[in-house]
Structure 1
Amino acid sequence: MNIGIIGVGGIGLASAAWLAHRGHAVTLWAPRAAAPRRAGPQALTSTGVLEASVTVHWVGSVAELAGSDLILIAVPVNGHRAVMDALAPHLRAGQTVLVSSMASLSSLYLYEQARARGLADVTVASLGTTVLTARREAFDRVRIMTRRTQLGVSALPTARQGAVLQLCTALFGEGFTPQTNALASALSNINPAAHGPLALFNWTRIERAEHWPQYHYMTPRVAAVIERLDAERLALAAAFGLQVRTIEQHFAQSFATTAPRLADIAAELHAKRGGPPGPTDTGTRFLGEDVPFGLVFCAALGRIAQVPTPATDTIIATAGLITGCDFAAQNTLIEPLGLRGETRAGLLARVGA
């Protein structure tokens, strides 16, 4: 296939290496100036789970992805709306867009933008987490740490679910399961519940730019707070008639952990991996991305479904207090999606289209 990838961070480069190694023609576009100095074919080396050297093609504009059969969006969710606004005019009938990973119903935003432009034959697929975990080491080098063994995928329109499942399997291999709809994909993302408390309760380490292995500092009481947030996420899913995996199931399926409780899972992961290191930048995505596009989104769903979210609300407020940021105002999707005036039935109808 001809595959276009938007984003050249760890996930973008890892996906490019993985897909090129499987024989696909991969084209990369960097929405920000993080590309090599010239467009055209470039070597890309991956280490870790995939030891390979491949050739990928870099382009200078999103318009040059118009000929792709599949477009993979692999940028942080706080960049989704800008990227999708840039991409929408260049979509064509028959294309599939895979959002990895999706949050705050960004895939619904793109799907509705495409339909508003008269493109009824565009498929937008959603992953609630990434297939791979990776670290970018240079524009031409990436270290792939994990290929998750199980993860769900959804489709808009939902009638394309079977085709999307087959596509993801053909691209990345076995391990994909169908999710009910895009809302299930959004609510399957455990990062906001895990990252918010982990960053806040280790804030002085972040401010001092200390080295701290994050699973070692997911102590029992920090894990207990994360479990409270996760319980609210599960309650939201249930209120919309959805079932998503628990945070403990996420770790078991992603990293083959065996402990039943989160604190013990963290200790198990630290013993196995010794990392990854926690953030050392006060602008960390643990707050800057996961609070507005994860926790603020969950709070908005709580208002729609009349489900209380006190732990989520507390972490949002605390994150704003320590950073001085209005995280609720930083979500660029809630307003254009009309979630403030949405109903439970109305939202379910939209994601079930």
Structure 2
Amino acid sequence: MRVSILGAGAIAYGMAAYLAKSGHEPMLWSPSGGRTRALAAGELLKATGDIEATVPVRVAGDCKEAIDHAEAVVIALPVNGHRMVMDAAVPHLVDGLPVIVSSHGSFGALYISKQLAQRNVSLPIVVWGTTLLTGRQQGPTEVHVSTVRQKIDVATLPFSAREQGYELCTALFGDRFVKRDGMLAIALSNLNPQNHLGIALLNLTRMEKGEQWSQGGNVTPAVGRVIEALDAERLAIADHFGIAVRTVQEHFSLSFHVPVGSVSEMNQEMERQGRGGFGPTTADSRYVLEDVPFGLLPTVLLGKVSGKPAVLHEAGISILSAAYGRDLKLDNDILPALGLDALSDAELADLCRSGFSSGTT
């Protein structure tokens, strides 16, 4: 299948290698064009680690070429770049062409849906709760893939396209997808922002000083209790909407195969097993600059709409904004275009299942 990947970072490169190795035809589009020059000149893409492959990958000259070539489109770059890429893609999308958002954040699927409704274009939008893989680029033609995830939550907008979206993802990326009950379930299943808030906020000096520090080892009991309290706010919102989501303890147990205990105990066990990882070595980290505006802020919005305020989430945004000397909420360029805070809980839930209707202004 011809799959165009909008993005050119480690996730996009790893995904392209996976698809090519599986017999599909990936095409990359770099918004800046800088990262893919060597590939565009004919050099092969080399993947190491959990994916071992050296494969040819086509490169699109612009977004229109990428979409015109595609039987499926994947948006694969950090969420703070999603609106830019969505704005470039929407004018060229056509009826029925599936769009996968990897991974979904800040109600980006609704942003696509609203723009397409203005053009009277209808297509399935597939949203993932996380990325296919983790990795790091080693150069302009090489990526090291640390992990290919065994399970990925998936939903669609509209909800009626769920089976189509699941079958597409399975055909492209294998039997690793778990169907969830709609886009709202995906929005409430991303635990990274809340976990990163506790970790970054209480280790901010280490980040700012550029220290090398154990992330798991520094999820001390105090840090763990903050994460658990943040998780309780998320779970209360999910319960209000009648959505079953994993607890943070279940997440750590399923992701890292450690016994269920307190968050601190589980992270200490990960550290003992050599899988605690390292924390950010710069204050310019996605743990703050991406996760605060695009991860925490949507949870705060859901808390207000549901009547289950996410007080700690909101406090974390304010404290980190003060630490960084600017209002991090203003970095979110998706939510202001949607007007979701004016909706009731029932209206928001319906919108997350059906999307915007044709002719929306």
TM-score range, shorter chain: over 0.9
The amino acid that maps onto 1:36 is T
Provide closer, same or farther for how the CA distance between residues 166 and 260 of structure 1 changes in structure 2, counting only shifts above 3 A. farther
Displacement of 1:155 in angstroms is 0.5
CA–CA distance in structure 2, aligned partners of residues 87 and 62 of structure 1: 6
Post-superposition offset of 1:41: 4.0
What corresponds to 2:359 in structure 1?
none
Report deviation, 1:141.
1.1
Name the TM-score, length of structure 2 as normaliser.
Answer: 0.93
Q: Is the 8 A contact 1:234 1:244 kept in 2?
A: yes
Q: Secondary structure of the residue that 2:237 maps to in structure 1?
A: helix
The percentage of aligned residue pairs carrying the same residue is 39
In 1, distance between residues paired with 2:135 and 2:202? 25
CA distance in 1 between counterparts of 2:170 and 2:127 reads: 14
Deviates more, 1:330-339 or 1:153-162: 330-339
Tell me the SS of whatever aligns to 2:43.
Answer: strand
Letter in 1 for 2:100: L
Greater Cα shift, 272-281 or 317-326: 272-281
- 1:1-353 aligned within 5 A: 1-37=1-37, 39=40, 41-66=42-67, 67-120=69-122, 122-353=123-354
SS in 2 for 1:335: helix
Could you tell which deviates more after superposition, 210-219 or 264-273?
A: 264-273
Matched residue SS, 1:232: helix
**SS of residue paired to 1:216:** helix
Q: Name the TM-score, length of structure 1 as normaliser.
A: 0.95
- The answer to whether the 8 A contact 2:5-2:27 is kept is yes
Please give the alpha-carbon distance, in whole angstroms, between the structure 2 residues aligned to 1:266 and 1:199: 15
Given that residues 99 and 124 in structure 2 are in contact (C-alpha distance below 8 angstroms), is that contact kept between their aligned partners in structure 1? yes
Rounded to whole Å, the distance in 2 between the matches of 1:185 and 1:30 is 27
- How far apart are residue 156 of structure 1 and its match? 1.0
What count of residue pairs does the alignment treat as equivalent? 352
| Conserved 8 A contact 1:150-1:254 | no
Aligned equivalents of 2:139, 2:206: Cα separation in 1: 26
Partners of 1:88 and 1:11 lie apart in 2 by 22
Q: Which runs of 5+ in 2 are unaligned?
A: 355-361
- 1:288–1:83 CA distance, 2 compared to 1 (3 A): same
Separation in structure 1 between the aligned mates of residue 161 and residue 43 of structure 2, nearest angstrom: 34
- State whether residues 8 and 139 of structure 1, in contact with CA within 8 Å, keep that contact through their aligned partners in structure 2: no
CA contact (8 A) 2:185 2:243 kept: yes
Q: Distance in 2 between matches of 1:139 and 1:271?
A: 35
Corresponding residue SS for 1:60: coil
CA-atom RMSD in angstroms: 1.5
Contact 1:293 1:331 in 2 (8 A): yes
Shift of 1:147: 1.9
